[in-house]
Amino acid sequence: MTDDPQIIWEKWRDPYGYDDMLDINDQIMNMDSEEPEDFIDSPESNNEEKSNNIKNISNNFFKPKMPFMFTPMGIIPYTENTACSKIFNFWTGHTNFNISNKICDIIENTEGIETFDIFTRYRFRVGIGKAFTDSTVMRDINHHIYQFFLE
């Protein structure tokens, strides 16, 4: 490695796309709140309106009411209470150096680190405890690793 050690931090995004699912759920909920008379035939309605009403009813009937995921424990509804991105404060670190065992020890033993996962030799994910400030914990990791390379 010829450059100074560097970690680029990126907010971890849920691979299941929980935030996107929230938007879809909101749309589904809005559809469910439509007035029933929107789908009722009236003597004044023409054939085109009747056709649209039937399409609306069938479209709503087949839409899932809640996202879910398959796990070893069975099917679990994917809600705010089960979404990793809502339970943990995850950050991904991208490095320009190998994540060795010593680097792992430094990261794992930094105050405020709740979870630590290595994805590749240059990428890892940390979960920062809710009682800690993100920027302070990430700055501490950067400082400890920089000190390690200076030794």
What pairing do the DSSP bridges indicate for beta strands 74-77 and 68-71? antiparallel
Q: Is the pTM of the predicted complex or chain greater than 0.85?
A: no
Mean pLDDT for 91-115 is 95
The one-letter amino acid at 87: I
pLDDT at 33: 46
Q: What are the beta bridge partners of residue 124?
A: 93, 118
Q: Which of 47-61, 67-81, 102-116, 137-151 has the lowest mean pLDDT?
A: 47-61
pLDDT at 36: 46
Residue 73 has pLDDT above 70, yes or no: yes
Q: Which of 18-22, 68-72, 125-129, 139-143 has the lowest mean pLDDT?
A: 18-22
Tell me the pLDDT of the chain averaged across its residues: 75
Q: Alpha carbon 85 to chain centroid distance?
A: 4
> Which tops the pLDDT comparison, 124 or 85?
124
> Which tops the pLDDT comparison, 52 or 135?
135
Strand segments (E) across 12-131: 68-71, 74-77, 89-95, 113-120, 123-128
Mean pLDDT for 2-12 is 86
- Tens of pLDDT along 9-67? 998 777 666 555 555 445 444 444 444 444 445 555 555 655 555 555 555 555 556 66
What domains are there in the chain, each with its CATH number? 18-77 (no CATH), 88-150 (3.30.70.100)
Whole-number Å distance between alpha carbons of 135 and 137: 6
Strand segments (E) across the chain: 7-11, 68-71, 74-77, 89-95, 113-120, 123-128
